Every structure is written in C-alpha cells, then in structure tokens.
Amino acid sequence: MSSSSPLSFTVSHRGTLHALSLLPENTLAVLQARLEELTQVPASLQKLLHKGKNLLGSDPDTWYQTTLAQAGFKNGLKIHMMGPTSQELTTMQSMENEQRKRERILRERALKPQVKPLEYLPNPASALAILTKLSEDPAIQHIMQIHKFSVGVLTELAPHEHPELLGLNVNAGQAIKLRIRTDRYDGFRLYREVRRVLCHELTHNVWGDHDNNFKELNSKLNREVAEFERAAANGTHYLSEVEDTYQPSSELEAEAHSYILGGMDSSGVALDESREERRRRVLEATMARLHKEDEELEKSCGTGSAKT
C-alpha cells in the first residue's frame, strides 16, 4: 500500500472546474479515465495544457507508463483541458456523413447531365435515346469522374442552323451541344464519332482555346476512353448488349497492323508479338488516328476563340 501523499490539482473544461486528488504514482492513463468520466471527453482526444504545454505528451504509448510525478504534476496545479465530448463526436460524424452523402448525390447528378433533344426536329425520341446513351456512357462517366467534370445540359445542334459546327460548349459545361443528326435529317451520325466530339467539348470545360494545353488534355481524354474500354472489353468485341457502344476490335486491329512489321499467322496476329503487345499497338494506332481527326474537329468546334 502506497505511503505517498495525494496530489491535489484542478482541471477546467468548458468553464467547469474539476478538483482532483490522485497519487503521484498513478499513471496518466488513470487520470485520463477519471477525466473521461467527468467530462465525456474520450482519453485519446484529451489535451491537458499548462503554460502552453500538453502534459500528456505526444506519444499515447507512454500514457500507461508515465506517472503523474514524472509528468510534472504538483499540488495546486491548474490545468486547462481541451477536447470534444463523445456526443459532439457523434454529432460531427453524423454531419460529415450527411455532407458526404450530399456530395455523392451532387457528383452523381453532375455525371448525368439533363438531356434535351430539339423537339421541333424529326424523331425527337431517337435523339433523346442517343443523348441519354452519351450521358450514361461508362467511358464518359469514367473520365468525368476522374477530371471532376460537370455538365448541366446535354443537347443537340440543328444541322441547318449550325452547318459549320459539330459541337459547342457553353460557359465551361453549363451546356454542351452536339451535332447528332446527318445533314439531310435522314438519320443520325455514328455514335463513336459523336462521342469523340463530346470528349472534345468536355476539354473546353477546362481550356477555352485550342492551344497546346487543350490538345494535351483532349488527347488524354481520348486515351483514357480507349484504355477504359479496352480494359472493360477484356478481349470481347462489345461492352454491352447494345451494339455500337464499343466498336468491333477488328477495325482497330486493322489500323494497328499497318504499323506492324513482320509476318502474321492465319488469324491476322503478328507472329512475334504477345496479345498484350498487340493490344498496345491497337491503342497506339487508335490514338494516332484520333489525333489526326481531332485536328479536323477543331475546325468544326464553336467553342474556341476563333468562333466567339
């Protein structure tokens, strides 16, 4: 049984003064447990300040070994304690969870813009279906999430009203307008081509002019779309039951073969390269083609400085 005299000191927290009496050989952990009972502040979040110094130190592992005497506690010591209560923690966590929920909902809404076909043009139902497909395209949602893009409205351009344009970005994503119809209104343009224009216009969410910054980001978006679809396809020709969502690989492979030297077997695969190497060449060939097409696309974009 200890013969040491107790130490008497006070701890204030939120305007309430707590008088304590503990033995010098009691550890800091014993004091923290007592303070948690009195204030509802968890021990791990307590700070005991005296003359600007935290008497608990910065290493929680020492709390069970360091005694009050070793920590510098004396009779008459006046200590100020800081730290949130368990109830406050619960409230803060609830608020943070609610905030994360709101942010998630906003992100989901941003990834799916409002789609608006031009009702006065022929077959608005088909136009709506195409615009919806674009807004829900997994590859498009992938790059929008990565780059934190948001689009308010996704709509179409009437060919007779804007014959020189394939796409237009209004106010950095407030609205994106795409030419989805043929010039004669006898059908719709290829989905893949329209989606490439969409990538171009999404780049205008960041860069207004068709400068090197724009070209670099636009190329990156096209590459990320191609890489996403290559991974998702996993060797198959389509990503979903709906054809045209992903173009058959044979078309892209044919492009890649024009860059490959050496013999091929009966299936058209270069004899001296692996499946992964072939996929890489397909991607490189695709990006080379897209780069050339993007140079032409800039001439039909209404967003750059030349069109304003």
Could you give phi then psi for residue 101, rounded to 5 degrees?
-65, -45
Task: Measure the CA–CA gap between 78 and 68, rounded to whole angstroms.
Answer: 14
Other beta carbons within 10 angstroms of residue 189's beta carbon come to 17
Instruction: Kindly report, residue by residue over 94-117, the tens digit of the pLDDT.
Output: 998 888 887 777 666 666 789 999
Instruction: Kindly report, residue by residue over 181-214, the tens digit of the pLDDT.
Output: 999 999 999 999 999 999 999 999 999 999 999 9
* Closest among 110, 96, 94, 80 to 9, alpha carbons compared: 80
By residue count, the chain amounts to 308
Instruction: Kindly report, residue by residue over 51-100, the tens digit of the pLDDT.
Output: 999 999 989 999 999 999 999 999 999 999 999 999 999 998 899 888 88
| For residue 10, pLDDT beyond 90 | yes
Instruction: Kindly report, residue by residue over 116-162, the tens digit of the pLDDT.
Output: 999 999 999 999 999 999 999 999 999 999 998 989 999 999 999 98
Task: Measure the CA–CA gap between 14 and 37, rounded to whole angstroms.
Answer: 15
Enter the DSSP assignment of 186.
Answer: S
Predicted TM-score (pTM) of this structure: 0.51
* Residue 243, pLDDT score: 37
Residue 261 or residue 33, greater confidence: 33
